[in-house]
Copies of this chain bind each other. A is one copy, B any other.
Amino acid sequence: MSVEMLISSLYVFALAAFLGYQIISRVPPLLHTPLMAATNAISGISLVGSLVTAGAQHSTFSTILGVIAVISATINVVGGFMITERMLKMFQDKLPEKNDSKEKEKRS
Contacts and interface: CB of A to CB of B under 8 A. Distances in A.
Nearest to A18: B19
Interface residues of A, number: 12
Contacts of A18: 19
A36 to B, nearest CB: 22
Interface of A is mostly: helix
A94 to B, nearest CB: 28
Interface stretch (A3-11, A27-35, A52-60): A3-11
Nearest to A8: B8
Interface in A1-28: 4-5, 8-9, 11-12, 15-16, 18-19, 22-23
A5 B5 CA distance: 8
Contacts of A12: 8, 11-12, 15
Interface centre among A11, A15, A18 (most CB of B within 10 A): A15
A15 B19 contact: yes
